[in-house]
Amino acid sequence: MSPSPVAPGEERGYIIPVGGAEAKAHDSPILRRFVKLAGGRQARIAIIPTASLMADTGRRYEGVFREIGAGQAEALAFEERKDCGESDELTKLDQATGVFLTGGNQLRLATILGGTPVAKKLRLMSAAGVPVAGTSAGAAFLSEHMIAHGDEGASPRAGSVTLSPGLGLTNRVVIDQHFRQRDRLGRLLTALAYNPFAIGLGLDEDTAAFIAPDNTVEVVGSGAITVIDPAGLEFSSMDQASRNEPVCMLGIKLHILIPGATFNLHTREANAGQVASGKG
């Protein structure tokens, strides 16, 4: 799914993938900044817990966002595809000033929300300036190309990753979560070897990429983001490798961003920013 076009004179909303296991206390920098972007005390946060099989996931995030200072926070019941055309829930979603997709299983998000009025509305809302965040599975689902599942490990291996269409708020990145904690460098490299157009964002836990309307990625949280830029890829053996064989990739550029550093998805330039000035 491709992003909805932004109307002349308007700006797309922030896209905020979170690597999972984010701090949820009052001093959480990730969730507090998301609430601020959504309007602070006037924020109306729509929580979509579809990825989770835990019945209390939506209620827990309602409490977290209210504690942080959001004016309203409500979980919407999109548990099956038939729910995604329910007019009352769609009206509540349409009134939201910020949307948050919880963790769980990203394939539940793709198979339940994909191709429904909910997915279309989320793309339109993002294009109209509404910030949309997702944690863990919710983060993976935000982009056009989604890692459905894959093997862990440091090396890319043929056939070790399955891709699926995602929500389509951006087509510039492929996102992987719990990155350092679950040793997922190899599977993100494999996903990029299939199609080196996109940029890989590997998000550590309790770490978020705040993707601004100008396509600048800013790191917020306690960990790092691994940026894999395949624009200079000179050679890939993906087309020759048999299943589970390692893949040769030459010319890949890799950046490690910590809070204070930025990366521009359009120019593909990394900047140490506040880190270099000692303010990170």
Q: Which residues are catalytic?
A: 136, 178, 205
CA 260 from chain centre, in angstroms, equals 19
Which of 143, 142, 51, 55 has the alpha carbon at shortest distance from 103? 51
Q: Which residue matches tokens 């978020």?
A: 208
| Structure-token pair, residue 32 | 């507090």
Q: What tokens does 68 get?
A: 């942080």
Cβ–Cβ contacts within 10 Å for residue 263, how many? 24
In DSSP notation, the chain reads: -PPPPPPTT--PPPEEEE-SS---STT-HHHHHHHHHTTGGG-EEEEE-TT---TTHHHHHHHHHHHHT-SEEEE----SGGGGG-HHHHHHHHT-SEEEE--S-HHHHHHHHTTSHHHHHHHHHHHTT--EEEETHHHHTTBSEEEEEE--SSS-BTT-EEEEE---SBSSEEEE-STTTTT-HHHHHHHHHH-TTSEEEEEPTTEEEEE-TTSEEEEEESS-EEEEE-TT--EE-TTTPPTT-B--EES-EEEEE-TT-EEETTTTEEE-GGGTTT--
Pairing verdict, β 253-257 and 225-229: antiparallel
